[in-house]
Each structure stands twice: as C-alpha cells, then as structure tokens.
Amino acid sequence: MNTSMQAVRYLGPKQNFELRAVAIPSPGPGQARVKIAACGVCRTELHLRDGLLDLGRRDFTVGHEIAGTIDAVGEGVRAERIGQRVVVYYYEGCGDCRYCREGDEQLCPAPASQPGFTSDGGYAEYIVVRARNCVALPPEIPLSQAAPLGCAGSTAVHAGKLARLVPGAWAVIHGFGGVGMATLQYAASCGARTIAIGLGAARLQAAREMGATAVIDAAATPDVAADVATLTGEGADAVFDLVGTSASMGASAAMLRRRGRLVLIGYTADLFSIHPVALIVREIAVLGSVGSTLGDLHDAVDLVARGLMRPVIDRTMRLADFAEALAAVEAQDLTGRIVLTP
C-alpha cells in the first residue's frame, strides 16, 4: 500500500487551499480509518479560506461531509467494522463537559478534534476518526449520496429540532442551497407546511419537486416578508435563515408570526441588527444552530433510508479539481451539493 496520499490543505486565513502529498494516517486506539469515496463541498470551506471562520489551527486537510468504507481499525474497535460503509460525524468532543454528557458535542468548549475545521478532514483519500463517529449506512444509500448527510443533512435535522416544528406549522427556508434543501425535506417530514425562498428557476423547481407548499423567487419580488404574510395569513412559525446577510435576516425576522422562531444557520460578514421592540412585542425567539449531534446524523441517515429525505447532488468532481468546485459554490449556480471523489 502507498504511504502517502493527496489531500487539500488549509494553510491559514485568506490563503488558497493547496493540494499536497501527506502521509496516510493509521488508526490509534478507539479509531477507525475510512477510505474516502466522496466528500461534499460546503460553503464553510469558503468561510475558512476567506478568514470569516478561524478556529486558530493551521495546516490541516479541509472537508467535513465525508463518506467511505472503513479499511482499518485501532485497538478496542471490533474488527467486523472493517468493510462497513459509513458517513462521518465531524465533532469529537472532550466527553466530560456538560454538553458532551448531553450529547451536544457540537457545543463542546474543548473538543478533542473537529475534522475539517481543526484537524484533518475529508478532501483526501483517507481519514482517521473516532470509531463511534462512523455512522453505518444501510445498503440502499450510495456513498456519493451519503456524503452530504455529514453536514447538510445532519445540520438540517438539528436546526429543525431547535425550531420545534409540529404538523401544520409554517416553515420558511430562506436560502435554498444544500442545507436549505435538506431543511425543507426535514420540515416536510415533520408535517410542516414549507415555503422555499431562493434564487434561480432551477433551484425553485427543485423545491417544488421536493413538495414545497409554496416557493418565492427572491429576485422577482420586492418584499419576501410580505409574500410570506400573504401565504401564511399571519406569518411563519419558524424561519431558517441560510443566507446570513443583513437584508435576509431582517426579512426573516419580519416574516414570523407572534411567538415565531428565527433559526440562524448561514452567515456572511454582515451583522444582524434589529430593534428589540420588534422581538419583544411579538415574543420572537432568535436561535443560532451549529452543526449537529451524533444522534442527529443517525436520524438523517434513517430519514434517507425511509425515503423521507433525499440528498441532492449537483455534480461529482475529482478531488484535484477542488478549486473549480469552490468557485462554483461561490458563484451560487448549483442545485444541490458538489461531491468530490479522490
């Protein structure tokens, strides 16, 4: 077997990623090595590259939507796991803090590692992670479809739970990229009525095909909040903001009904500013949602297996073409995820 592999490295903020040869890692105690079949491209990679997200670490492999096959295990991991097809959960919490104890490893203040964010991720041929982070896939889910569950799918499940969606509730998905598509599907699986706000005929057609109750073309209307009011009567029970601009977040807050919940997931360099009275007199809740728990990823896999969620892949590209893939994400002309294959 080769001892080195190709990997796309983050060297520091405001620097382009570089394809480099690095050593193929070996699993230590409690770990598994995954031969990567597919890694989704997430907007977060742009935030890392541009310096908007900087967790302080340098020189690691990016990528956190990882699917592949376990090809080696370390001490204490059942050998039967070798050959298992898996999607990888990308938080490894400390295991001891109040958040880890509750299963909220995405909130751990001192995580052991975070593949793709502070330690080696999935734009590579192999990755070594804690074995329990490798979530087994049923045979009906292909690896290329599974990769986007690692972030887009599990993030949607997590945000949907925070929004406490109930049957009949109106859920607005403001921003219709990979996470938005998964959030719409999750909301529909909860029995919610869904409104997708997006740009471009192809994406909005995809929303209709996913069963959106209504779609709004953000480029074709002067006031998306007014459109939501017209559709819902009073306003939405929950709005998921995946755009993260001052304009989108202001509109998202304005389109809620009383007691509505605004869930912020996407971000840009913009600030969210609002007069408190707009929240106070309508008892609006504003929530942040980051990543997911390991349980949320298990739930996402289960929902896909049951046909209630379906990852949307725009295209598959070679790992070596990562720069082209990132440019396409930046241009926002995709319908679904790009998946890289080593």
One-letter amino acid for residue 134 of the chain: C
Q: Does 44 bind Zn ion (CB under 5 A)?
A: yes
Residue 334 CB neighbours (<10 A)? 20
Which CB, 108 or 329, lies closer to Zn ion?
108
CB of 214 to Zn ion, least distance (A): 27
Touching Zn ion, residues 86-105 (CB under 5 A): 93-94, 97, 100
CB of 291 to Zn ion, least distance (A): 8
CB of 160 to Zn ion, least distance (A): 16
Which CB, 48 or 253, lies closer to Zn ion?
48
Consecutive H or E run containing 170: strand 170-174
Give the span between the Cα atoms of 218 and 175, in whole angstroms: 9
Touching Zn ion, residues 125-164 (CB under 5 A): 151
CA angle 146, 152, 155 (to 5 degrees): 120
Which CB, 4 or 332, lies closer to Zn ion?
332
Which CB, 44 or 213, lies closer to Zn ion?
44
Q: Does 107 bind Zn ion (CB under 5 A)?
A: no
Which CB, 61 or 84, lies closer to Zn ion?
61
Give the interface segment with Zn ion, choosing from 41-49, 185-193, 251-259, 275-283 (CB under 5 A): 41-49
CB of 54 to Zn ion, least distance (A): 16
Q: Is the dihedral of CA 230, 231, 236, 242 positive or negative?
A: negative
Q: Does 269 bind Zn ion (CB under 5 A)?
A: no
Give the span between the Cα atoms of 339 and 67, in whole angstroms: 10
CA angle 111, 152, 116 (to 5 degrees): 40
Q: Does 229 bind Zn ion (CB under 5 A)?
A: no
Q: Does 66 bind Zn ion (CB under 5 A)?
A: no
Give the span between the Cα atoms of 70 and 231, in whole angstroms: 48
Burial class (CB in 10 A: 0-12, 13-18, 19+), 50: middle
Residues lying near Zn ion in the complex (CB under 5 A): 42, 44, 93-94, 97, 100, 108, 151
